[in-house]
Amino acid sequence: MRFYRWFLILCASLGLAACQDPDDGPRHLTPEEIEKYKQEQTVKIEKYVEYRQGNCPVILTVPHGGTVVESFLTLRNTSNCPDPDFATDLDYNTRELADEIDKAFYQQTGKHPYMVIALIKRNHVDFNRKRQYAVPAGDDNVGKIYDAYHAYITTARNEVTQQYGHGLLLDIHGQSHSEDIELGYLLPPSTLDLSDAKLDSGTYVSSSSIPHLVRTNKAGHSFSQMLRGNDSFGGFLHRNGLECVPRPGYPSPGNNPYFYGGYTTCTYGSYGGGVVDAIQCEFRYSYRDTQAERVRAAAAFAKSITEFTQAAW
Ligand SMILES: [Zn+2]
């Protein structure tokens, strides 16, 4: 059946009518022909990853909201992707939420952030993992899609670096924990549990996703202030009506389940150097559920981006 389907697709792509004469019968493609066809089909990247060039130093990445499934692409499983945190959950409506953030940001500032958006479903590829855990072993087509997503982030990050000398990347996700928005700076709860004095005296800043911001913010705020003080991103979200952790008055999630960052935050924030800082933003379902909620959350989130970056840059 599978070979026959490829044959029909091939006929269609060549503009041939399938089986005009029933006596001819369908010709089965050889495995080599199928492989050649698959390679020729090779993945129109725009079907699986969307890139929008921005005109300000803000980058939004949305890795887990894609819904496109393809029969010719391999599905991930725990054998072909030995990821210790293997997951295929869809971050429902995060693409739609990111679109609303872009719209609100444009209405408020006249600028667009850079956007890198997964359209393909996480069952095929997990863009927020290193490659060996992200791509099913042996599927070069999925590998190309993964590479394209990360090449787009690299392009955006390079442009922002060259044109502005600083940048903020926000990695947009959805979660179903008890927190409203979890802000991930690569710091586990055991680190966020520490006092401000302890956080500021140690080397914790160098293991976070924002050391550049801490070094350069124009108010000279300390690490703990940039994490959960009045001018932290959580501080602005809170004042604009979006509950989150960490923020002033709520420095750590404690024992609550909490996502504190992933491959994207780690790779493209300033943890590894550079002038772009990164925060993973995990939205509770109630902020993504309805169009009205997305519009409300997006307006407050976009306003917080502007206020936070104006205070820092
Ligand atoms: Zn996610």
Query: Could you tell me which residues are beta bridge partners of residue 117?
Result: 50, 62
Task: Return the pLDDT at 4.
Answer: 39
Between β-strands 49-52 and 58-62, what pairing exists: parallel, antiparallel or unpaired?
Answer: unpaired
Are 281 and 163 contained in the same domain? yes
Cα(175) to centroid of ligand 1, in Å? Answer: 7
Are 56 and 110 contained in the same domain? yes
Are 6 and 102 contained in the same domain? no
Are 62 and 24 contained in the same domain? no
Using the predicted structure, report yes or no on whether residue 115 has a pLDDT greater than 60: yes
Cα(266) to centroid of ligand 1, in Å? Answer: 14
Are 101 and 30 contained in the same domain? no
Are 56 and 140 contained in the same domain? yes
Query: Could you tell me which residues are beta bridge partners of residue 181?
Result: 283
Cα(122) to centroid of ligand 1, in Å? Answer: 9
What mean pLDDT do residues 290-299 have?
A: 98
Are 177 and 141 contained in the same domain? yes
Using the predicted structure, report yes or no on whether residue 85 has a pLDDT greater than 50: yes
Cα(62) to centroid of ligand 1, in Å? Answer: 8
Using the predicted structure, report yes or no on whether residue 1 has a pLDDT greater than 60: no
In terms of pLDDT, which residue wins out, 20 or 303? 303
| Token pair 């929008």 in the structure block, residue | 52
Using the predicted structure, report yes or no on whether residue 12 has a pLDDT greater than 60: no
Q: Which of 159, 158, 165, 160 is nearest to 212 (CA)?
A: 165
CB atoms near residue 46 (< 10 Å): 10
Q: How confident is the model at residue 30 (pLDDT cuts 50, 70, 90)?
A: confident
What mean pLDDT do residues 281-292 have?
A: 96
CA end-to-end span of the chain, whole Å? Answer: 60
CA atoms within 13 A of residue 38's CA, in its CB half-sphere: 20
Cα(197) to centroid of ligand 1, in Å? Answer: 32
Cα(79) to centroid of ligand 1, in Å? Answer: 21
CATH of the domain at 250: 3.40.630.40
Task: Return the pLDDT at 22.
Answer: 39
Cα(173) to centroid of ligand 1, in Å? Answer: 4
Cα(63) to centroid of ligand 1, in Å? Answer: 7
Extended beta strands in 91-185, E state: 114-118, 167-175, 181-184
Say what the alpha-carbon torsion angle 71, 76, 77, 83 is, to the nearest 10 degrees.
180
Task: Return the pLDDT at 10.
Answer: 40
Cα(174) to centroid of ligand 1, in Å? Answer: 6
| Token pair 């943890």 in the structure block, residue | 271
Are 23 and 56 contained in the same domain? no
Q: CB-based burial of residue 237 (10 Å sphere; 0-12 exposed, 13-18 middle, 19+ buried)? A: buried
Q: Which domain holds residue 18?
A: 2-41
What mean pLDDT do residues 6-30 have?
A: 45
Q: How many domains does the chain have?
A: 2
Using the predicted structure, report yes or no on whether residue 3 has a pLDDT greater than 80: no
In terms of pLDDT, which residue wins out, 127 or 37? 127
Cα(273) to centroid of ligand 1, in Å? Answer: 24
pLDDT tens for 218-270 read: 999 999 999 999 999 999 999 999 999 999 999 999 999 999 999 999 999 99
Q: How far apart are CA 91 and CA 66, in angstroms?
A: 8
Cα(31) to centroid of ligand 1, in Å? Answer: 37
Using the predicted structure, report yes or no on whether residue 69 has a pLDDT greater than 70: yes
Q: What angle do CA 264, 269, 271 make, to 5 degrees?
A: 110
Phi and psi at 281, nearest 5°, equal: -120, 110
Cα(41) to centroid of ligand 1, in Å? Answer: 29
Task: Return the pLDDT at 8.
Answer: 39
Question: Who contacts 200 (Cβ-Cβ below 8 Å, separation ≥6)?
Answer: 222, 223, 224
Q: How far apart are CA 91 and CA 89, in angstroms?
A: 6
What mean pLDDT do residues 166-193 have?
A: 97
| Contact of 284 with 176, CB cutoff 8 Å | yes
Using the predicted structure, report yes or no on whether residue 2 has a pLDDT greater than 60: no
In this predicted structure, which of 20-29, 159-168, 182-191, 211-220 has the lowest mean pLDDT? 20-29
Q: How confident is the model at residue 202 (pLDDT cuts 50, 70, 90)?
A: confident
Are 13 and 110 contained in the same domain? no
Cα(61) to centroid of ligand 1, in Å? Answer: 11
Using the predicted structure, report yes or no on whether residue 31 has a pLDDT greater than 80: no
Task: Return the pLDDT at 11.
Answer: 38
Using the predicted structure, report yes or no on whether residue 16 has a pLDDT greater than 60: no
CB atoms near residue 64 (< 10 Å): 23
Cα(211) to centroid of ligand 1, in Å? Answer: 24
Are 28 and 57 contained in the same domain? no
- Identity at 166, one-letter amino acid code: H
In this predicted structure, which of 22-31, 95-104, 261-270 has the lowest mean pLDDT? 22-31
| Contact of 264 with 127, CB cutoff 8 Å | yes
Are 18 and 56 contained in the same domain? no
pLDDT cut 70: percent of the chain above it = 88
Cα(98) to centroid of ligand 1, in Å? Answer: 13
What mean pLDDT do residues 93-119 have?
A: 98
Are 33 and 84 contained in the same domain? no
Cα(36) to centroid of ligand 1, in Å? Answer: 34
Q: How confident is the model at residue 182 (pLDDT cuts 50, 70, 90)?
A: very high
Cα(91) to centroid of ligand 1, in Å? Answer: 5
Cα 310 to chain centroid, rounded: 24
Q: What is the pTM of this model?
A: 0.87
Task: Return the pLDDT at 219.
Answer: 96
